[in-house]
Structure 1
Amino acid sequence: MLINSLFSIVPAKSHGTDDYDTGDTPFITNSRLNNGVARFVEPIPGDKVIDAFTICISGLGYATLQVKDYLPKGNGGDSATILIPLTAMTFEELLFYTAQFNLIHGWRFSFGRKASKKRIEKLSFSEVYNHLQIENDFSGNVKRKLSLKLNELNLNIPVESTNM
């Protein structure tokens, strides 16, 4: 199924990295390190701060799942593109589609061929997730451990109580 049947595809809008004062909002760039966070900034009026639990695809075609509101790099030829779910998705679904993008489509983009809304909307995702029988161990124990680790990093993911 085409990506735009699951997600709204939105180009980022911001200024250059050096135009910002230090603040609390993660600034997402092309880096694969630190989930794409280059630094924490104070947004400038007119910037598009994106809600948490969306997928940010860098200009170089690397997808990251963002779990806090963030400011994606949105100027020049290497702007980020945001995938905003059209319907509510679980953390696992978003993580699945983020990984799937990197595995299936990441190779398509580079310094010479940047990811863009026009190029991304022509791509598709597998519906495999809908056919998987996810055991309680994944949705319970693994999600809990991941959530605890993310909370250690001050990302504030709600931790569901499960019997371990």
Structure 2
Amino acid sequence: MKRAPMTRKGAERLRQELERLKTVERPRIINAIAEARAHGDLKENAEYHAAREQQGFIEGRIKELEAALSTAEVIDVARLSPGSRIVFGATVELEDEESGDTVTYQIVGDLEADIKQGLISVSSPLARALIGKSEGDSFDFQAPNGRRSYEIVAVSYPD
């Protein structure tokens, strides 16, 4: 079985979500189902059906998180020492050579990726283009909105 890489921080975030689902959300939804059941006829009880549907989503997410955490290979990024070379876990500052805009991304596992937080999946096209390059390198990248040229301004490995 292939083990998916995950940062220590990402694994901790998923463990916290799993704990919240099991200790807060699951009991809350069980109470909501019991309360809706007490209202009588289940056929036309919208609260009951909504609560059961939500229970299905919560149980599905719990299973997904448990499976992900059981097969994850948690990599302590702080213990890597690739220098200025980009590998899994690197935080990379890029400058768009055309516009001069800078963006910062951390390369993380698939399950912890969240572009809004600057976390890009190791399997994403941008991360694949970055792996193995070093600070100061320039590269072209085929973005969804066309070809872009970037310079790698900085590479760091946060703990």
Provide TM-score, normalisation by structure 2. 0.23
Provide TM-score, normalisation by structure 1. 0.22
Normalized per residue, the structure richer in helix is: 2
* Larger Rg computed on CA atoms: 2
